[in-house]
């Protein structure tokens, strides 16, 4: 079983001439290797930015240094040397030359890097959730010591092993996903200077904009009899599609083309429109009032994107849509019903430490209902922007300093505070959207990854918001304020981690509960161990000291075991709060599934294994997404 902080360990076969293929035991490797949140890569599409030149003119200051981690690390044989080689060393100047690659190899590697690696390590490879992957970096410590490291220092052989076997900190193993040739290709590619994709201007956006069905040609009322509030929008990651599934009948209503690997789906304030954004930057509007759901508009935000949301403040409902991109680092404002581009704002600038960063990516974006504002989280700078859309031509934003490497997050139960993980800083930042100020910066376990988090009333500490962790085997429960008099007695606990729920291993991506449930669900799809990654864990909120119940989703699906791990990911409740839907995320050529559990009995109610269900990941129930029920 995979171990974090010495709970257990795992064995991997290391193919090396000096070891004779010896079986090696690996413990406490999480800090010595690369940490990431990569997705299983069976991808065939991607962006059209195949530039050829190396990075020039950008800062070479590293954003993150590889951590030496636990001094009690015990590594055996050749694997010990491989792991220790990833640690920063005192400056020596001894670096090998970059390996050679043909133009075709480099083009193939760029595609693979975008699809599998850029989300965690960055387009320019400066790191965030994942480690810095520049060929060579240097850093001066507070005591004046100069440190250096980089992929050139590791060399091709060691990089191949890291890619093949993954890490205990959240990066999956690729030895059963990529071919040996592809692993070698990537090991060589990341020793070269990063490729830089082109910028993307307002003119580029307008050129990409397609108004497929004008507003005046759309239905004036709902033309179907589907219960729209219980529809699930399901990302079919590698197919570049979105499945809309009727939550009442468990039948697929419609599968639509979208951008590649849709990261999130968001709902209009009316519940009529589904907004999607693919990792390739393509954004679409799907109108569910037609007899069959219909894509009515699309636009491209850039070459790499993650987030969109509509305007939700009274009087501005669905008037505007904002989209954030990883590349170029900027956010865009569009018409909420047509996606016509209106404005682009760059996020390049100084970090909270005062250093210039050329690639501050826009991570999660949410819309406030308290003010006409979006909360825009800028990953590398550590700034949370409150963007006021009440006057687009004279746009105002408030920059709140928090901690670097902001990622995802969600609202507390009151809807006043937004909590976001600064995951590589091991913190959660809380913003008071009423005052427009930082409410707290909470220290957590390693690499928090909440998704949107989960809210419930703790029997001992009152209202809490929760996050799992990619890099640690716990779920952190953070006390949140409440204006309700009955919760006043818990005020002393506010903005503190009041309890850590023990998980069997690291690698969590999503947690979830529901106001009508006594259960708290957590996944662990990024854990390197099959049994853990293929299961979900259910805690009893009436007794959180009990061990969680393990549900092996892969076995419960009834599907045969495959070479690639089928990862159980993202619990999502239906509108009634009595069903939990789990994606079983397999290889592109393997049958995937959505497994639906009865929340009370924890028994399987239905397994959706339609051939159209290809690599399902995120699922967004319309009602729960509209009303931030999680």
pLDDT band at 586 (very low <50, low <70, confident <90, very high): confident
Q: How would you write 452-515 as a 3-class SS string?
A: EEEEEEECCCEEEEEEEECCCCEEEEEECCCCCHHHHHHHHHCCCEEEEEECCCCCCCCEECCC
Q: Which of 449, 469, 493, 514 is catalytic?
A: 449
Q: What is the DSSP code (8-state) at residue 195?
A: B
pLDDT of residue 40: 30
Long-range contacts (CB closer than 8 Å, 24 or more residues apart) made by 45-50: 45/240, 45/260, 45/280, 46/111, 46/114, 46/115, 46/260, 46/280, 47/114, 47/197, 47/280, 47/281, 47/303, 47/304, 48/303, 49/197, 49/198, 49/303, 49/327, 50/107, 50/110, 50/111, 50/195
Q: Is the pLDDT of residue 329 over 60?
A: yes
Q: Is the pLDDT of residue 3 over 60?
A: no
Q: Which of 73, 79, 82, 171 is catalytic?
A: 171
Q: Is the pLDDT of residue 283 over 90?
A: yes
Cis peptide before 328 (omega within 30 of 0): yes
Q: Domains of the chain: which residue ranges? A: 10-189
pLDDT of residue 94: 59
Provide the angle, in degrees to the nearest 10, between the axes of the packed helices 103-116 and 180-189: 90
Does the annotation mark 334 as catalytic?
A: no
- Measure the CA–CA gap between 114 and 48, rounded to whole angstroms: 11
Does the annotation mark 117 as catalytic?
A: yes
**Pairing mode of beta strands 511-512, 519-523:** antiparallel
CA distances from 600 to 112, 519, 622 (A): 42, 8, 22
pLDDT of residue 114: 87
pLDDT band at 33 (very low <50, low <70, confident <90, very high): very low
Question: What digits encode the pLDDT tens for the residues 158-188?
Answer: 999 999 988 766 687 888 778 999 999 999 9
- Measure the CA–CA gap between 586 and 563, rounded to whole angstroms: 10
| 493-497-499-504 Cα dihedral, nearest 10 degrees | 170
Q: Which of 73, 79, 82, 120 is catalytic?
A: 120
Q: Under 8 Å CB-to-CB from 425, ≥6 apart: which residues?
A: 382, 403, 404, 405
Task: Give me the CATH topology for the region 10-189.
Answer: Cytochrome Bc1 Complex; Chain D, domain 2 (1.10.760)
Does the annotation mark 626 as catalytic?
A: no
CA distances from 601 to 12, 471, 504, 629 (A): 37, 31, 22, 22
Q: Which of 407, 469, 493, 514 is catalytic?
A: 407
**Pairing mode of beta strands 417-422, 427-432:** antiparallel
Structural contact between residues 329 and 74, judged by C-beta atoms closer than 8 angstroms: no
Residue 213 or residue 55, greater confidence:
213
The C-alpha angle 11, 595, 608, rounded to 5 degrees, equals: 125
- Measure the CA–CA gap between 589 and 33, rounded to whole angstroms: 30
Q: Which of 117, 186, 334, 526 is catalytic?
A: 117
Does the annotation mark 1 as catalytic?
A: no
Q: Is the pLDDT of residue 14 over 70?
A: no
Question: What digits encode the pLDDT tens for the residues 88-100?
Answer: 555 555 577 899 9
pLDDT of residue 54: 33
Q: Is the pLDDT of residue 12 over 80?
A: no
- For the chain, percent of residues with pLDDT exceeding 70: 84
Q: Which of 121, 357, 493, 514 is catalytic?
A: 121
Residue range 380-386: average pLDDT?
98
Does the annotation mark 627 as catalytic?
A: no
Report the range of poorest mean pLDDT among 70-74, 84-88, 137-141, 306-310: 70-74
- Measure the CA–CA gap between 70 and 54, rounded to whole angstroms: 35
Does the annotation mark 250 as catalytic?
A: no
């Amino acid at each position: 079983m995979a171990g974090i902080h010495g709970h257990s360990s795992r064995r991997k076969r290391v193919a090396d001439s000096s070891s004779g293929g010896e079986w090696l035991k690996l413990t406490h490797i999480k800090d010595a290797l690369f940490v990431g949140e990569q997705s299983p890569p069976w991808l065939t599409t991607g962006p059209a930015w195949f530039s050829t030149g190396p990075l020039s003119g950008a800062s070479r200051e590293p954003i993150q240094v590889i951590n030496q981690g636990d001094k009690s690390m015990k590594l055996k044989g050749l694997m010990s040397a491989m792991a220790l080689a990833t640690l920063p060393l005192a400056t020596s100047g001894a670096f090998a030359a970059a390996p050679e690659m043909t133009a075709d190899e480099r083009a193939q590697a760029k595609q693979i890097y975008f699809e599998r690696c850029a989300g965690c390590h960055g387009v320019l490879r400066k790191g965030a959730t994942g480690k810095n992957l520049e060929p060579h970096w240097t850093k001066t410590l507070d005591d004046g010591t100069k440190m250096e490291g980089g992929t050139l220092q590791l060399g091709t052989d060691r990089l191949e092993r890291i890619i093949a076997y993954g890490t205990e900190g959240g990066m999956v193993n690729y030895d059963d996903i990529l071919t040996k040739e592809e692993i070698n290709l990537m090991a060589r590619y990341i020793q070269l200077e990063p490729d830089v994709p082109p910028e993307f201007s307002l003119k580029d956006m307008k050129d990409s904009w397609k108004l497929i069905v004008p507003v005046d040609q759309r239905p004036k009322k709902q033309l179907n009899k589907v219960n729209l509030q219980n529809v699930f929008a399901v990302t079919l990651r590698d197919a570049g599609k979105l499945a809309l599934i009727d939550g009442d009948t468990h039948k697929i209503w419609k599968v639509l083309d979208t951008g590649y690997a849709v990261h999130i789906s968001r709902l209009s304030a009316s519940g009529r429109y589904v907004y999607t954004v693919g990792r390739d930057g393509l954004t679409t509007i799907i109108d569910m009032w037609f007899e069959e759901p219909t894509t009515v508009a699309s636009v491209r935000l850039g070459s790499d994107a993650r987030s969109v949301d509509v305007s939700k403040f009274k009087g501005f409902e669905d008037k505007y849509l904002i989209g954030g991109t990883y590349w170029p680092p900027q956010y865009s404002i569009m018409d909420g019903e047509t996606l016509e581009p209106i404005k682009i704002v760059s996020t390049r600038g100084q970090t909270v430490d005062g250093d210039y960063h050329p690639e501050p990516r826009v991570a999660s974006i949410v819309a406030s209902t308290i003010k006409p504002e979006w909360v825009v989280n800028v990953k590398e700078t550590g700034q949370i922007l409150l963007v006021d859309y009440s006057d687009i031509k004279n746009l105002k934003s408030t920059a709140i300093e928090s901690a670097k490497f902001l990622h995802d997050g969600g609202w507390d139960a009151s809807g006043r505070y937004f909590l976001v993980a600064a995951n590589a800083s091991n913190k959660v930042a809380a913003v008071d959207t009423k005052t427009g100020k930082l409410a707290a910066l909470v220290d957590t376990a390693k690499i928090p990854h909440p998704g949107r988090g989960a809210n419930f009333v703790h029997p001992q500490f009152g209202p809490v918001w929760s996050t799992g962790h990619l890099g640690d085997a716990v779920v952190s429960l953070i006390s949140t304020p409440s204006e309700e008099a009955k919760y006043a007695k818990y005020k002393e606990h506010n903005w503190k981690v009041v309890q850590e729920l023990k998980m069997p291993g690291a690698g969590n991506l999503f947690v979830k509960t529901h106001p009508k449930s006594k259960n708290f669900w957590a996944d662990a799809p990024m854990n390197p161990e099959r049994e853990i990654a293929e299961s979900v864990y259910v805690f009893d909120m009436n007794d959180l000291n009990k061990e969680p119940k393990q549900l092996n989703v892969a076995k419960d699906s009834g599907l045969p075991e495959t070479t690639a791990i089928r990862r159980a990911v993202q619990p999502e409740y239906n509108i009634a709060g009595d069903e939990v839907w789990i994606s079983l995320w397999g290889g592109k050529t393997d049958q995937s599934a959505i497994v639906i559990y009865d929340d009370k009995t924890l028994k399987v109610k239905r397994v959706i294994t339609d051939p159209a269900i290809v690599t399902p990941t995120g699922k967004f129930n319309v009602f729960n997404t509209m009303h931030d029920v999680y």
